[in-house]
Structure 1
Amino acid sequence: MTRFAALSLPRWPTDRLRLSRAVLPDSLARPCVLTLSGAGGERLHALTAHGEAAGLTRGMGVADARTLVPALKAHPADPEGDRAALMRLARWCGRFSPWTAADPGEPGLDGVLLDITGCARVFGGEAALMDRLVGEVRALGLEAHGAVAPTLGLAWALARFAAPGDARGWAGADGPRGVLDALPVEALRLGDMAATLRRFGLKRVRDLFAIPRADLARRFGTDPVRRLDQAMGVEREVLDPLQPRADLRARVRYGDGQQTLDAVKDGAARAIERLCAELEREELGLTRLRMTLYRVDGQARDLIVGTARPSRDAAHLVRLLNERLDRAEIDIGFGIDLFEAAASLASPLTGGQGDFHGAGEAEADMMRLADQLMARLGREAVMRAEAGDSHLPERAGRFVAMDGQAPAWPRRREIRPLLIFDRPEPAEAVAEIPDGPPRQFTWRRIRHRIARAEGPERISPEWWRAAPGSGPGRTRDYFHVETEDGRRFWLYRDGLYGREAGQPAWFVHGAG
């Protein structure tokens, strides 16, 4: 059965301000608020517990708040920074589940959502998982509450509005209905609609259950009905995690943080070995390995290793990761206690057999070399040639990143020079009209007399690629020529005499 956990952070903006050390600790012992400027002037955005105890409320004007609390400490709010930090915290929660999501909201409703299906047994049950999750978040200096439920909506509601003893799930013959009845309508994630419902005397979720569904939808729209169905599990709601679900991953957890580079390498190697065993069972190989290192203080660091073709060779992958670890200058902090290896990209891996000349082994050696270069220089720094979908020589080939796909080269018989320029260079030539080869040409201010020529090879314009209004392009006649002093060039005539618009022009496109 699917199980979700919700983490509520009722003081997230002010807790973050305190932990950022942007204010002195004793200043938060007095009423303190975060403010935002708007059309109505500066207003309170978030409050500390001392601020609420002094009678301040969110949305109150700063001038009115200072009337109530003359010694009020006000700081500018940073909603964008709050959201970014919440994303980092959700990522940190990945030590409890691979599938987490930040859940930003109005101050008091911020939190993190987790899909913990199948994860609780690792921690000794749901209660133990939640005790550890909430405990470690509080150890970071944050006020936090948690809940577990079979639906996202119910977990969210319990974490924020249930009594502390009722926040671990639901039980009883009434199922989720019995838990939801007593909660306020704000527990249904209705936003401003909750205030509208209260004006009509609908203060508790049980008040909504008492109204026929059709009447409820007709009077207040479909949102209340949809949120009720989601909380009850009638309408399925899934978590949209920070990272795509990857079935192929392996974890190694330590009771104490690993504090030396050698110990970190050993922990990462163990995680890779477990992942490769899983890949072998599934007959898969990876082309991208993501190693996530979780520090004991909540920070996480990703290292990405790529391979030129699918692999599940643990020793090879460990060598590649060690290259990254040696060069990444990772801040180990107080230690790394969790290593997660994930196959970000995986595909079927079939066993290959080389020929009698050892071509298979040579290709494997080349791929291993490419992997090592990518680990040292970066994936974008190692390229391979690939045939382009074009008849024009300047578009017929390109360099792309090593991605494990074997290059498919067309079986053409055309002879090409050793060097092809990225862009053809203009030249002046003397040739027989209309289709004769050049007798001499001037290129880069040097005149060359031609001893022999071969051609033409005619290449028609790619009219389907022409920009609107630019015309279909012109025909090219290519010639391989050798000059009297033994130099070889590749020239072409752009355009046909009397058959295409304009006078033909000559270009040098290659040499050798």
Structure 2
Amino acid sequence: MRWVCLLFPRLALEGALRRRANPEAPFALIDGPAPRQCIRAANRAARDQGVKPGQARGFAEALFNAPLFKAPDAAPLSKAPNAAPDRGSRSGSSQRLETAPFDAESVERWRRRLATWAYGFSAQVSLHYPHALVFEIASSLDLLGPWPRLEARLRAELAELGFSHRLVIAHNPAAARVLVNAHDGLAVDEGGLESALATLRLERAGLGSIDADRDIVQTLKRSGFQRLGELFALPRSALARRFGAGLMRHLGELRGEWPLALDYHRPTPRFSRTFEFDRPVYAITGLTFPLKRLLQELSVFLMGQDAGVERFRLMFELEDGPAQPVEIGLVSAQRDPDTLLELTRSQLERVRLAGPVMRLTLFAPRLSAYAPIRRELLEGPARQAQAWATLHQRLVARLGEPVLKPLVEYREHRPEMAVLHGAGPRARDARAGAPRPGWLASVPQRCDDDVVQLLAGPERIESGWWDGGDIRRDYYLAQWADGRHAWVWCEPGRQGWYLHGWFG
């Protein structure tokens, strides 16, 4: 078995930034009681202004209001009066530090959502360790490719989702979890596991959870130990007698000698996410950013379930008045976030908001089987079919399902009864047999003087006696005076040709 560990050192901050309309604006998470709130984490824009974890909230906010003092002789003499202030200067800045309280429950929700994403790569995904995911990947390598290719895919998808991470793969989950504290991108085989563990410093070896009553790391350091390799070199009986069974069990888990019982994550069969706005949104165009975020999360959820969605609901909770629901229907199951966003925006162009929106909820109660699009090496019928399917989706999204009326073939010998308008996509299968023209005339027209040559036929069609619409005709493929190919018929034993359709 091979276990991947993903560590998310900035999960709380990055999860909060995904909910903000402008993630690049200065932002920080705060923690602690109201009189003594301090900075827990800050984004790059805030750190560039001097905000650091551990600072008092008031001091961090003052950094955005206080002028940047300089000595009189340090001012540049050649600077124009109307020139823009230096980049990074705090004087004259119109930005202010936005803050939000640290929410441990929100962090766990994001971990569960990332576990649902990882479920698309492995059926054994665990949330056993805080701030991290571990999942078994050896059983999926034959399907998903060798490890370097899979690692690149994991990193690319996490970067698109906006989560920084560190990643390690090892032969047991406990070893992967401690190695990711010191490494990123390390892939350890079974023979090199103990030597990789031996170099770890004790404070990074996961020893803090062994004994809640004492600091085992400080105890070991006072005894002269600095790295795990020094513990591995000691006789196990002496180590157990001096430091207890808890340390021995932990060392056994790291080496893979002690089985580790893990609870595996199972995604829920429904999807529901909500985006709350800081201020009312008055136009559909203002919903693009939250829609993109929600549809990205829906795509991650669907990939974890190996499913797609054909219909979902958007619920606009208004500032004044009842919630406004909007049903989004698709022609076929989809899960690509860009495709979902394009089709959703097209359908929302026909929607008029009943009032200012304060909250947006996306709810997908039912999932559908999803078949990925086959990729063809060369252009051909399969590629053309894909292009038509995409165009069909866009037309339905923009114009609505009632406007498009497909032509559907039925098992019926009479040509005028075999093709119906607007019969819907679940009509019976098309009749197999002789070729039929791509375009039928609504009413057969007399054409005695236009037929130049009969190329094929006759094909006799005699049907409809049971419903009073009986016909008896002989059909031919004919060449027209201008070179076109037509479908014509005449009644047996009678004179006169009738045009019924054109071949492309």
The TM-score bracket by the shorter chain reads 0.3 to 0.5
Whichever structure has more strand as a proportion of its residues is: 1
- Relative contact order, higher structure (CA 8 A, sep 6+): 2
Using structure 1 for the length normalisation, give the TM-score: 0.43
